[in-house]
Every structure is written in structure tokens, then in C-alpha cells.
Structure 1
């Protein structure tokens, strides 16, 4: 897997982008060296697979980016769409999902580097888990991505260790 290099400033914006990237990398590295079948396997007690976690993380980041940009997020409300967000379908492969995530990463980085302030905010969509008419800042979004990717990197570590004994921390 090609390593993505990021040139970011050492200020708060750059630090947050670096933390997001570190968690992206941890999640991506969990699938390194696996076959498509291994990456799609669900060897633990959960329904999660490494390829599904990669796809979900890329879609999650894209959804938050679109909301921050004032565009619509991913389509909601279909059970099949929710399940398909955690598994590869059709012609999707681990390399195609990673390539898509690379594009999303570049777009997120460019957007955050261009936004006037990390205090700029955008509205959250109506959902039972969000307060009504709430707004969040760009800073909040980046911290949420760190949280989301770190949670799933932990899931990925367990799945990978169950597949072949490989551990993230040696």
C-alpha cells in the first residue's frame, strides 16, 4: 500500500489533519497483505470485515465533508444501503475502496486548509441522535473523524488478529 504523505502546517489545523491521517493509516494498515477473501471475511463475533470497515470509513468521511461543504450527505433511510456500507458489492475491491478514500482524503485536506476558520460551522442533519437544529464546527468534524476512525481501527485490529494473528502494535 502506498504511503500518503501530507504536508500540513504545525498549527491546530495541521495537527488535527495529522491526527485524522494517523487514524486513517491505522485502519488502512490492518488490511495490508490480505487477499480480497480474507479482507471480506468476518472471523470475529461481530459482522465487521476489514474491507467493510474501509468502505464505511471512506463513506463516513465523504458524508461529513459534504455536510461541511453545504452539499447533501450520503443517502439515508434504506436498510440495504446501510448494510452495503459495511461490505463490498459489485465491482468494489479493497484497492478501489482505498483509491476512493485517497480521493476523499485529498478533498478533505484541501477543504480544511482553505476554510477561513475552524470555528466555521454547518448544520447537522435531522436525526434522532443529533440535537434539533444543532450546528458543529470544522474543528468538531475533524475530532469526530479521529474518534470514528480510531474506533474502527480498534475493530480492525481485532478482526486482523483473528484472521492471521497479525497485531498492530507488534
Structure 2
């Protein structure tokens, strides 16, 4: 089986695709591990000068991954241009970083699991990681197109970055650490 073949199952992959998905799985694991044994109330705590909370970080990572998976499937039409975002769009984005009424550890992790499974399926069945997709207009994109590989690398980087944020917040809550 080659790395550009269509794959039905992430466990049968080899090569680059397997390595990339393994790295994403590791970053996802550490993010999830950070919230072990916490209450819903603790997920909303902001014990650092940052406005970030653990529940909000997981909600944001899930939302960002969902958006990038949609981008892989449907291109930039699934993402708004920065200049076209409304006040409501910015409110929705801000709420991704907060625990809202009704948010629970179980519901947040269930959503993240569903998003993760969908992204993994998309990436295992995508025939060509070199395929490029036009990016939406936004001040933070210096390129006009990304390959599916670049999108996957971005998802990995974002998950790992926020996992590090989560580890600091968790340590500030109760001294628990992801590692060490």
C-alpha cells in the first residue's frame, strides 16, 4: 500500500501518512490527558493572566480542526474571509474559548472525539496529500494555497500548541502535570 493510496483505516497506514497521523494522535492524547479527573467547574477556571480555560481550549481545538477538515473537503468556501466576518462570527469564535452554560467535560470530549474521528477518516481516505487548496483571504496567510499535508501539519501544530497552554493552566489549577 502506498502513501498516496486511498486508506480505509488509520491502523493500516505506513510511511509519511502514518507518521503524521501518529503525531496528531499524540498531540490529541496530551490535550485530553490534561483534563483528566477535573470537574466541569474546574474546566472553566482561568488561573493564569490569560483568559484561556481548559474547556475552552478543547472546544477551540475541536472547532479549528472541524473547520480545517471542512476546508479539505470543500475548499475555502467553508471558511469566511477575514474581512467578511460579522460581529456574530467573532462572538461565536470568542465563545469557543469559554465554558458556556450546558458545557460539560463529557460533552466537550465527545465533540472532540467526533471531530477527531472525522478528520482521521478524511486524512486516511484522501488520495493525495500534495493536492492544493486555495486559502481564504486573511492577514495571517502569507501563501495563497496549502497542500492537504500543510493543513494536516497546521492541525498538528495547533493541537500541540494548545496542549502546552492546557498543561500550564492545569498545573496552575491543582499542580498536576501532563509530563514530569
TM-score, normalised by the number of residues in structure 1: 0.90
- Counterpart of 1:98 in structure 2 is 109
More deviation in 143-152 or 7-16? 7-16
Task: Give, in whole Å, the separation in 2 of the partners of 1:79 and 1:11.
Answer: 39
Which of 110, 123, 130 is the aligned partner of 2:121? 110
Structure 1: any 5+ residue segments left out of the alignment?
1-5
- Counterpart of 2:4 in structure 1 is none
The structure with more helix, counted as a fraction of residues: 2
Q: Cα 1:105–1:8, aligned 2, differ >3 Å: closer, same or farther?
A: farther
Task: Give the CA deviation at 1:139.
Answer: 0.8
Task: Give the CA deviation at 1:79.
Answer: 2.8
Task: Give, in whole Å, the separation in 1 of the partners of 2:151 and 2:165.
Answer: 21
Question: Whose Rg is larger?
Answer: 2
Task: Give, in whole Å, the separation in 1 of the partners of 2:46 and 2:58.
Answer: 14
Question: 1:30 and 2:4 equivalent?
Answer: no
Which of 160, 173, 176 is the aligned partner of 1:166? 176
Tell me, yes or no, if the aligned pair for 1:63 and 1:74 is still in contact at 8 Å: no
User: How many equivalent pairs are there?
Assistant: 164
Task: Give, in whole Å, the separation in 1 of the partners of 2:110 and 2:16.
Answer: 27
Structure 2: any 5+ residue segments left out of the alignment?
1-9
Which of 12, 19, 24 is the aligned partner of 1:15? 19
RMSD of aligned alpha carbons: 1.7
Provide the secondary structure at the position in 1 that maps to 2:49.
coil
- Counterpart of 2:94 in structure 1 is 83
Runs of 4+ in 1 over 6 A off after TM superposition: none
